[in-house]
Amino acid sequence: MSIISTQTVAHIADLANIPITSSEEETLAAGFTTTMGVVDQLSTINTTGVEPTHQVTGLENILRDDVVDTDRMFSQKQAIANAKRTHVGYIVVDQLIGQ
């Protein structure tokens, strides 16, 4: 059974860009451990020589021709309509440290 530590939880939260409090770290670690217990059952199944299935449809080579599709393109107004902060057509974010 994999025991997930709070350090692991903190690292994952960082990777996943999810803000969590230190109390949440505890609950999450416990929940993960339960879940990973279920997941660990997978190791009891023999999969030697078995190919992983990424795609159940069996589809291949689904490509589009190089043409412009104006039907789906947004106007500038539509593109930024749901953004909280905009400025002369740009979407605005706080500058990250180190720019």
Partner 1 sequence: MSYTPVVGIEIHVELKTKSKMFCGCVNDPFGAQKPNIYTCPVCLGMPGGLPVANKTAIEWTIKVGQALGCEIALFSKFDRKHYFYPDLPKGYQISQYDQPLCVNGLVKTEFGDVRITRVHLEEDTGKLIHQDLNGQKVSLVDFNRSGVPLVEIVTEPDIKSPEMAKAYAKKIRQIIKYLDVSLADMEKGSMRLEANISVQTEEEKQSEQLPAYKVEVKNLNSFRYIERAIAYEVKRQGDVRDGNTLPTQETRGWNESKNQTFAQRSKESAEDYRYFPDPDIPPLLFTQSYIDSIKDTLPLLPDQVIATWVAKGMKESEAQILSEDRANVLLVDELFQKSSDALKIVTQLVNKKIMLSSNVDDIIAQSKVLTQTNSVDERELEKVIDEVLTENAKAVNDYKAGKTQVIGFLLGMVKRKLGNIDTVVLKEALIKKLS
Partner 2 sequence: MLRTLTLKSYLDKVKSKEISPSDVVKEVADAIETINPDLNIFLARNPKAFEQSEERAKLPLSGAPIAVKDNFLTVGMITTASSKVLEHFNPPYESTVTKNLSTAGGVIIGKTNMDAWAHGSSTETSDFGVTKNPRNPEYLPGGSSGGNAAAVAADLCIAAIGSETAGSIRQPSSWCGTVGLKPTYGRASRAGVVAMGSSLDSPGPMGKTVEDCAILFEHIVGHDPYDGTTSSQPVPKLTDALTKGVKGMRIGIVYLDHKDLSGTRTAKAVEAAGKIFEQEGASVDVISLSTQLEKGKILSPDAAIGVYTVVQRSEVSSNLARYDGVRFGEDRSHFGAEAKRRMMLGTFTLSKGYADKYYVKALQVRSLYIQNFAELFEMYDILISASSPGFAQKLGATADNPMFGELEDMLMEPSSISGLPGISLPMHYDAKTNLYLGLSIVAPQWHEERVVAAAQVFEENTKWNSWRNL
CA-based end-to-end distance of the chain:
43
Is residue 12 within 8 Å of 36, Cβ to Cβ?
Answer: no
User: Shortest gap between Cβ of 49 and partner 2 (angstroms)?
Assistant: 9
Name the nearest CA neighbour of 9 among 93, 95, 20.
20
Tokens 């451990």 sit at which residue? 33
User: Shortest gap between Cβ of 75 and partner 1 (angstroms)?
Assistant: 7
Name the nearest CA neighbour of 30 among 3, 1, 50.
3
Q: Which of 22, 23, 42, 98 binds partner 2 (CB under 8 A)?
A: 42
- The residue among 54 and 87 lying less far from partner 2, judged by its C-beta, is 54
Q: From the list partner 2, partner 1, none, which binds 24 (C-beta under 5 to 8 Å, kind-based)?
A: partner 2
- Alpha-carbon torsion 28, 31, 35, 37, what sign? positive
Is residue 60 within 8 Å of 68, Cβ to Cβ?
Answer: no
Q: Which of 22, 42, 47, 69 binds partner 1 (CB under 8 A)?
A: 69
Residues of the shown chain interacting with partner 1 in the complex, contacts defined by CB under 8 A: 15, 17, 54-55, 57, 59-76, 79-80, 87-96, 98-99
Residues of the shown chain interacting with partner 2 in the complex, contacts defined by CB under 8 A: 4, 8-9, 12-13, 15-20, 24, 28, 31-32, 34-36, 38-47, 50-57, 59, 62, 64, 72, 74, 78-84, 91, 93
